[in-house]
Structure 1
């Protein structure tokens, strides 16, 4: 519990610190942007003063040198000099090839008018010129800096969130694994006792049929205990006949299901070898058949069909139940997802993990129609 509390407060603290840091950076960026913009304005005012000086100075060499020095200072800041009627007199720091097009110059002039107020030059009585300019490329890049910073922050927070989420999930998985193994251990004690009682019953005058059924249930409990003990560890796969292993799970549930449900089992061949952990694979088949029984509400038909291909074997489990909406085809395999009033929503999630992760196969909903039924497909590689 302390781990989750510490994680909760650490995440909150990290978010607050991140927000403060980003706010300070954005504020400093804004201040720098305004200063840089003011600096460009000052340069334009110097340029305007130089133009005025140039117009009134009779020394052409001195004026030419002054203009060159000023132009060197404002390098990188696009500008256009116009008269009172917006006629373009000259331009600087624009694309030389594009600037030969008058339409391009007019568009640039409109951009400049939107960005900055013009600087007026009064060099002769009743005559004015105007200096229009737009932000330099450096200033443009600076405007996108906060956006880039926010994207980096979002990425950083996403990584942090994923890190803590994965840690939380890993911690929960350890808890579930420990509970499963402890359950298997606890089941082991009464199982041993039951086996002893079965041995005693065999010596008494008890029907062999009764003892056989009890043995089946005890074997079933033993299988369940073994399944739980394997959770969290990589199971051992052995070459097994998948037809036989599927039939075992099928027969067990068939004999313990309502007679209002008809069962059908088909297989192309009697022997198809696959690398299996028979206990875990049997768990998958049982989950699918149990879900089918629930979907049909105790009345309908279940088909289990095995088809062999060149390199693969496919197992189809279908029912005539209420069906699954297409939007839930993938959701039903997520842990905790269930449409039942009672249930943990772990059966199909575990089935997918057993087939996909342990057996390197695939399990999915092949097709489903409302009130007509659902077909699950399991695909496994054949043993070489």
Structure 2
């Protein structure tokens, strides 16, 4: 289980890192955008101040600047307060001293002054005022300004985005956790049923041999044969118990002859094929030149599961299951091909999922356990290489030398 806990932790760390990168990236990009907009607004206010300065120092008629002044004012979409050098606001009742600022008309003159002074203090926090000077020495007035509505929204936008993204990630995580728990539940139920199924056959055999012993106790030769079969079934029980005990722990791997292991499983099934009522031949082609680090019991279980699936898929009178072994310097490849009914393309991504089964009495653990044994314990790969409806399927196993 340690392998999967580590994998789960790594996935969580990766998700957190991705979320952090997205969050900081959004904040950084928005900050740059806000700074550019604020820079544009400040340039506009400076132009506004220069216009006032030019008007105050010019001897030309005021109306000559009307077009320029009106066009600057029209572009201002943020709060602005024009004061004298002592920061007193004049003509606020006509709106010439303020811009984009709502003043309650029911306030008294004194209350309005207090409101404007508070507003000036608030604007000063965000931006330093721009001075209107005469001859670059005498301060005629000051312009206080704030952020436009779009800048204000942009400031809060990344936090809202992070909030929604965080909420989505939390919901996704909860959904993922629910699916994981549901899958684990299917595994536990399936394991319990698979255990009962695996134990059922040898236990039934033992009960049968016991009855035969009662009937043949006075015939030494038959008792000896029955005793041998009893030992065989007891060994089978021991192997089943050993297999299940290795699931959830890290089994020991040791050099094994791959060909011999596959032959052993094939021979086991060939003895029992007549009982299935099917005429199926199991063929082994190719061989390995060196031993492979394996856990023999678990690897045999994988081969058994693949043969069982192939037998269930074969519906023709003359069935065939072909094991083809090839190798190179680094890997060994095992192709398991049958001439069964094939697998629907829509279901190919589901066949290794715990609990998935096309059999009415299946528990959906065979391929799931096989995938775990090959990929998690042996660091190999198992997948459905190809499948054609009505013609058969090929599973492929990769193992490292």
Which residue matches 1:157? 171
Q: Give the aligned length.
A: 273
Decide which of 266, 273, 282 is 1:263's aligned counterpart. Answer: 282
Higher relative contact order (CA 8 A, sep 6+): 2
* Structure 1 residue 303 corresponds to structure 2 residue 316: no
- Cα displacement string for residues 221-279 of structure 1 (whole angstroms, at most 9, x for unaligned residues): 3322221222222211111111101111111012211451122111234x531111111
Q: Is the 8 A contact 1:322 1:373 kept in 2?
A: yes
Q: Which residue of 1 is the match for residue 337 of structure 2? A: 318
For residue 158 of structure 1, report the CA deviation from its aligned partner.
Answer: 2.8
Going from structure 1 to structure 2, the CA distance change for 1:297 and 1:222 (only over 3 Å counts) comes to farther
Distance change (3 Å), C-alpha of 1:229 and 1:309: same
8 A contact 1:306–1:314 mirrored in 2 = yes
The gaps in structure 2 that reach 5 residues or longer are 1-44, 58-66, 78-99, 103-146
Equivalent of 2:259 in 236, 243, 248: 243
The CA deviation at 1:354 is 0.5
* CA deviation after TM superposition for structure 1 residue 209, in Å: 6.6
| C-alpha distance in structure 1 between counterparts of 2:301 and 2:218, whole Å | 30
The answer to whether residue 238 in structure 2 is matched with residue 234 in structure 1 is no
**Whole-Å separation in 2 of the counterparts to 1:171 and 1:259:** 35
Deviations 1:199-231 (A, max 9, x none): x98981228776655544443333222212222
The within-5 A match list for 1:33-182 is: 60=56, 88=71, 92=75, 135-142=149-156, 145-163=159-177, 166=180
The change in CA–CA distance for 1:263 and 1:159 in structure 2 (over 3 A counts) is closer
Does 2:375 match 1:349? Answer: no
TM superposition shift of 1:191: 10
State whether residues 256 and 294 of structure 2, in contact with CA within 8 Å, keep that contact through their aligned partners in structure 1: yes
Asked if 2 retains the 8 angstrom alpha-carbon contact of 1:240 and 1:273, the reply is yes
1:306 partner SS:
strand
Rounded Cα–Cα distance in structure 2 between residues aligned with 1:202 and 1:313: 53
Aligned to 2:93: none
Does the 8 Å contact 1:191/1:218 carry over to 2?
no
CA distance in 1, matches of 2:272, 2:170: 54
1:272 corresponds, among 279, 290, 300, to 290
Name the stretch that deviates more: 210-219 or 312-321.
210-219
Closer, same or farther: CA 297–215 of 1 in aligned 2, 3 Å: farther
Q: Is the 8 A contact 1:352 1:362 kept in 2?
A: yes
Q: Which runs of 5+ in 1 are unaligned?
A: 1-46, 62-79, 95-116, 120-132
Q: Does 2:241 align with 1:225? A: yes
